[in-house]
Amino acid sequence: MNSLRDRLRRLTKASDEQQAGQFPDATGAVEPDADDGEWRQLDARIRRSEGGAFILRTRRYPLEHRHGRYSLGELNIIDDTLATLASAPVPLTDASQLLFFDTETTGLGVGTGNVPFMIGCGYAEGNQFIVEQLFIRSPTEEYYALVYLGSLLKRFTHVVTYNGRSFDWPVLKNRFVLHRLQAPGDPAHLDFLYAARSLWSRQLTSCKLTTVEEQKLGIIRGHDLPGSEAPERYRQYLITQRVKDMEEVFIHNERDIVTLAVLAVHFQHLLSGTVRSAPHTVPEDEVRVAFWLDKLNLPSRAQEVLYGALKQAGKLSRGQILEAASLCKKWHDYDRAAGLWQAYCKQSSGTLQALEPLIELAMYYEHRKRDMEAALHWSLQARSLLERRLSLGRRQASDRVRLHEIDHRLERLRRKIDKPTQQMIHFH
- From the list 388, 392, 374, the residue with the least C-alpha distance to 360 is 374
Neighbouring residues of 116: CB distance < 8 A, sequence distance ≥ 6: 103, 104, 105, 168, 171, 172, 175
Q: Higher model confidence: residue 422 or residue 108? A: 108
**Strand extents, DSSP E, 64-205:** 66-67, 70-71, 98-105, 116-125, 128-135, 158-161, 188-191
| Whole-number percent of the chain with pLDDT over 90 | 70
Residues 190 and 300 in one domain: no
Residues 259 and 389 placed together within one structural domain of the fold: no
- Residue 195 included in any domain: yes
Asked whether residue 304 falls in the same domain as residue 375, the answer is: no
Using pLDDT thresholds of 50, 70 and 90, give the confidence band for residue 63.
very high
Q: Please report whether residue 278 resides in a domain.
A: no
Task: Establish if 277 belongs to a structural domain.
Answer: no
- pLDDT (tens digit per residue) in 291-309: 999 999 999 999 999 999 9
Question: Same domain for 107 and 140?
Answer: yes
Residue 383 lies in a domain: yes
Q: Are residues 98 and 211 in the same domain?
A: yes
Separation between Cα atoms, residue 101 and residue 76, nearest integer Å: 19
Rounded average pLDDT over 41-56: 90
Q: Residue 30: which pLDDT band, with cuts at 50, 70 and 90?
A: very low
Q: Which of 255-259, 273-277, 388-392 has the highest mean pLDDT?
A: 255-259
Strand partners, 56: 45, 134
Of 230, 51, 57, nearest in space to 141 by CA? 51
Lowest mean pLDDT among 105-119, 166-180, 314-328: 105-119
User: Are 99 and 206 in the same domain?
Assistant: yes
Predicted local distance difference test score (pLDDT) of residue 111: 62
Please tell me the total count of domains within the chain: 3
What is the model's pLDDT at position 428? Answer: 35
pLDDT value at residue 391: 85
254 and 171 fall within a common domain: yes
* Top mean-pLDDT range of 50-54, 240-244, 333-337: 333-337
Of 328, 265, 306, nearest in space to 129 by CA = 265
Nearest Cα residue to 69 out of 266, 353, 324: 266
Alpha helices by DSSP H, 203-317? 209-217, 230-240, 247-272, 286-295, 299-310
189, pLDDT greater than 50: yes
Domain of 9 in residue numbering reads as 2-272
pLDDT band at 121; cut points 50, 70, 90: very high
280 assigned to some structural domain: no
Residue range 158-178: mean pLDDT, rounded: 92
For residues 428 and 398, which has the higher predicted lDDT (pLDDT)?
Answer: 398
